[in-house]
Structure 1
Amino acid sequence: MRVPLLIPITALVVGALSWAPTPSVAAAPPACATLDPGQAWYGENRQRLDAMIAEHGRCGSPGRPPVAVFDWDNTVIRNDVGDATLFWALRNDVVRQPADWAATSRYLTPAAATALRAACGTVAPGKPLPTSTDTRCADEILAVYSTAATTAGASAFAGFDHRRMEPAYAWLPQLLAGWTPAQVRGFAAAARRENLAAPVGATQLVGTQRVTGWVRYYDQQRDLLRTLRRNGFDVWVVSASPQDVVEVWAAGVGVAANRVVGIRSVTRAGVLTHRLTGCGDVPDGADSVITYLDGKRCWVNQEIYGVRGAKAFERQADDKRPVFAAGDSTTDLTFVRDATALRLVINRNKTELMCHAYHDLDGRWIVNPMFIQSKPAQAKPYPCATTGATDAAGTPVPVVDDAGHVIPDQLDTVH
């Protein structure tokens, strides 16, 4: 995806006039691309992005390219491609009845497994569930996925590390067990067509629930991705949506499948299983570490920089860290913090992320409102100094900056 160098032909004309050697003519460097000034950014964000690209970009020159890493959902696009795929799957009878609901996720609670069996229990294992018409089954699956609770309000997941795993996110590829990766990409492509065609603000009926029915690429982010690539950046997408789903959507902004890291399923005989590929070689690492918060750092370090084992959870030296990173949620915080030059945050009022972004300890954070249907200002300051973060056990704790200090409460000023 680098811009090819144009080889000057002037030197080819010279030798015909004289046998004397002629000095070589160096190629003029290509002009470095800048962001489209017609695309609206908040404040001086476009200028700061251009300055970062000019300083760190290589404009096609040799050498190891600088790395830029983007979250996907609500960072490059508005809304969530995992949600869009599940909604399509439930409307099209794609989810298969498991032999045992408890086996779909190692973190599913007995209460959730019991509720799912009661709601969806009349279909033989391996057969598609009729969720397009069986609203009780569709509602139960949707509740567990969307709220991490049953329709009766019981907790659906337990026993996980809250800094490395979000079981509800991981449950989507687990629900797609029994299909091939190519088939899942087909489901994602169908959902993509529907959601891009639907008007902004559209909803759809899944079970008895009205849910979001549209997705849009952000024009500003499409331009930023293109400009980074034209300036020699190695651009990656790291997402907590399923690998096969994100590949389909990322192709729409020119990001190849080998530059996408999503939640990755273990396959057997060519089809997805309920098991997930792990990171960091932790005990029982398969299923316990997805592309979520500290887990995103692990996957960035492992897949982009080749760091293996427990070290993949650690912040690396500058030459093994992204130059630029972008995210919108606390789920992105750890890998965004690792960026060495500039960190772009799309403001969705996510407390721990916004505490760091507004605190701006090293002056390398920039905040931008959502480019479509931006959120209003949060009325109260973010509670950074008390309950703004969550520890591995799920307990609210203060937010601590890179210097080890508790971050004071922060006002929401960019909206």
Structure 2
Amino acid sequence: MKKRFVVISLLFVFGFFFGSWALTSQASASAEIKLDQGKWCPEVKARLETLIAQNAGKGKKVIFDFDNTLICRDIGEATFAAMAGEKKLTLKNIPLEITPPFTLNGKRISPDNAENITMFYEDFLSATKHQPGEACPYSNGYAWVVQIMAGMTPADILSFTEKAYAKGIARQDSENPNLQETKINGYRQPFFYPEMTDLAGLFLKNGYDVYVISASNIWTVRWMVIKNLNPLIQARHGEGLGIAPDHVIGVSVLLEDTRTGELHKDPLLVRTNKAYANMNLEELANYKLTSQIVYPLTGYFGKVANIIKFITSDRPFLIAGDSPNDHPMLNMAENRLWITRLEKMGYQEKTVKLIDNSLPGEWLLQPVLYKKSPGFVSSQADLDQSFSTKPSSKKTPDAVVQFLKKFGKLQKF
């Protein structure tokens, strides 16, 4: 009887100390997992830190959209604009068989009467919006803007991406609200949100399996990740961290290897050709783009298809996005980080409907600006400060905030 009492006592003591150690370790781990303050909404930052700490080291899948999510603005469109500005792409030198005429708002649009190729593209994005039930209006535009690059090599594309990114020069727009927006041929130039760079690095550092999926051309996005994002992550979180080349998924076309005449698909080639995967320009110059899209296209529900095909058939742990193009994949995630563009009322109206009808899981809303004074916005006071020199420009952002609060979102903003 005495022996049993001793054993039970020892088990109790061991359990008490083990439990205390576990709680202390968990609290310690949680304390170590901290995002830089930046301009996060405090409650979003705190919740992300908790989620990361509670699920660290398990290899869970985290997926980021790229344009207007990891970066502010759109690198795919900026690259296209750079090509158009230097006449690499014009309405006279692109495949007309994939450039159909159409009627938009009663006006006939065609390569013959469009003012220029960028104007045609902007109209083409809206070509099917007139149809009731159209949930994926930009899909054909996402495909077309890559198809018309037929005949180029990935190396050719990257020379224009480098000009469009310009080492993140547009970051200056967020530092001085009096500056004109940094543009290339009329399109805003992008820069990395420092808060998102930090977040991606923190996920990698804590054992998550991180992917990027984008509706921009794959070579531009992969170059941005491998050559620009990964070094930023390593500078903040340590050497060796980074998103793998085959973890970057985007719009692509069949590639012809000019040495052999064989056709290749990017999602497979990136897994078998190390030089190609690492964006070696000499290797990339050996492949010529055709006009044949590789399916599934990484737009709307095609993002879900690519996730199932290349990442997981289960619900990913967290997905981050900013537009209705991301809604289908956001819906399948266990946790969602919604980059809330305060200049986009239509996006927020659609998102509120999705949130109310989505699969179970959390939605974290982080407001941002992408036009004037671009960057994260932590609070109403921060928003007011961003437009202190031009308060009239704050009309739409204020309206978006009030709309979201009306539906129970951004209550602490």
Q: TM-score range by the shorter chain?
A: 0.5 to 0.7
Query: Is residue 170 of structure 1 aligned with residue 143 of structure 2?
Result: yes
Preserved CA contact (<8 Å) 2:63 2:210: yes
Identical amino acids, percent of aligned pairs: 23
Query: Is residue 376 of structure 1 aligned with residue 387 of structure 2?
Result: no
Q: Distance in 1 between matches of 2:146 and 2:330?
A: 25
Alignment of 1:15-26 (within 5 A): none
- Residue in 2 aligned with 1:71? 65
Worse overlay, 31-40 or 183-192: 31-40
CA shift, 1:99, in A, is 7.4
Q: 1:345 to 1:176 in 2, by over 3 A?
A: same
- Residue in 2 aligned with 1:345? 338
Alignment of 1:37-48 (within 5 A): 37-48=36-47
Q: Deviations over 1:271-316 (max 9, x none)?
A: 112211012xxxxxxxxxx2112111011111113xxxxxxxxxx4
- Residue in 2 aligned with 1:185? 158
Q: Distance in 2 between matches of 1:192 and 1:205?
A: 9
Aligned residues: 304
* Residue of 215, 218, 223 corresponding to 1:243: 218
**What amino acid is aligned across from residue 410 of structure 1 in structure 2?**
F
- Residue in 1 aligned with 2:250? 262
**What amino acid is aligned across from residue 298 of structure 1 in structure 2?**
A
Preserved CA contact (<8 Å) 1:243 1:260: yes
CA shift, 1:355, in A, is 2.7
- Residue in 2 aligned with 1:399? none
Alignment of 1:220-231 (within 5 A): 220-231=195-206
Q: Which has the higher helix share?
A: 2
Query: Is residue 325 of structure 1 aligned with residue 319 of structure 2?
Result: yes
Q: Distance in 2 between matches of 1:244 and 1:157?
A: 29
Q: Distance in 1 between matches of 2:135 and 2:96?
A: 20
Alignment of 1:84-95 (within 5 A): 84-95=78-89
Q: Deviations over 1:146-190 (max 9, x none)?
A: 2327xxxx9489999744961112221112111011221222122
- Residue in 1 aligned with 2:290? 273
Worse overlay, 226-235 or 166-175: 166-175
* Residue of 98, 123, 136 corresponding to 1:147: 123
Q: Distance in 1 between matches of 2:52 and 2:298?
A: 26
Structure 2's unaligned 5+ residue stretches are 1-24, 174-179, 231-242, 259-286, 378-396
Q: Distance in 1 between matches of 2:61 and 2:289?
A: 30
Preserved CA contact (<8 Å) 1:247 1:257: yes
Instruction: Tell me the secondary structure at the aligned position of residue 261 of structure 1.
Output: strand
- Residue in 2 aligned with 1:390? none
- Residue in 1 aligned with 2:304? 297
Q: 1:147 to 1:194 in 2, by over 3 A?
A: farther
Instruction: Tell me the secondary structure at the aligned position of residue 118 of structure 1.
Output: coil
CA shift, 1:205, in A, is 6.7
Q: Distance in 2 between matches of 1:229 and 1:379?
A: 32
**What amino acid is aligned across from residue 305 of structure 2 in structure 1?**
C
CA shift, 1:82, in A, is 1.2
CA shift, 1:53, in A, is 0.6
Structure 1's unaligned 5+ residue stretches are 1-27, 59-63, 120-136, 280-289, 306-315, 383-408
Query: Is residue 410 of structure 1 aligned with residue 407 of structure 2?
Result: yes
- Residue in 2 aligned with 1:132? none
Q: Distance in 2 between matches of 1:195 and 1:53?
A: 28
- Residue in 2 aligned with 1:23? none
